[in-house]
Amino acid sequence: MGLKQELIHFSKACSTSGFVKATDGNLSVRTRKNFILSTATRTNKGKIKTGDIVKTDIKGKRLSGNRKASSELKLHLYIYSNRKDVNAVIHTHPLHCSAFAAAGKAINRIVLPEFYLQIGSVPLAKFAIPSTDEVPESIAPFIEKHNVILLQNHGLVAFGKTLEEAYLLTEKVEQYAQILILAKILGGAKELNPAQLKKLDSLNITEKKK
């Protein structure tokens, strides 16, 4: 599957999963020649087609495509410029993650072992006006150590080596946000204690050595 087809595939997956509604959100992928393929502005991700994909250089200059790139491309380009290991970015508005973002709360309670080992926590970037340089500036404190960031009063951005990796991060964080909200209804989630975390940290080190 080529990169354009992957972009179409995961755009539709974001729509099917409910991570985006109407024309919300945007996805992009970096090519081997350091060009960027991204979803065009006002694209319905559930009905996306090849003509809805724009090719730009790393500074955002359009190289091909009949449509205009998303105004949120600045966020994507900032991530690519500061993380050479990242080749895919997915910005969405998942329901439960967006609830945390709207409440001004990071997803930083350590409740599930798997989430702790794989992601740790999801920081909250301060509110920034969408489509402006404020958005990439807001994630600057977190971009080196995190691959998933909440955007206050906005949504979620996830990035990784591939579109699949970025999508799966989005999926996992959204499920975790939902679990935390449901657990609160039941009286509140019980966080793992320091001794348990120490054992998990040891396990994580062992796994990395294999």
**Which residues have a catalytic role annotated?**
72
Q: What is the Cα 115 distance to its own chain's centre? A: 15
Q: Which amino acid is at 109?
A: R
Q: Round to whole Å and give the CA distance between 118 and 126.
A: 24
Q: Round to whole Å and give the CA distance between 141 and 150.
A: 12
Q: Round to whole Å and give the CA distance between 98 and 105.
A: 10
Q: Round to whole Å and give the CA distance between 65 and 95.
A: 31
Spell out the residues 6+ positions from residue 27 whose beta carbon is closer than 8 angstroms to its own: 7, 10, 11, 14, 38, 39, 45, 88, 89, 90, 91, 163, 166
Q: Which residue has the tokens 């909440």?
A: 150
Spell out the residues 6+ positions from residue 113 whose beta carbon is closer than 8 angstroms to its own: 192, 200
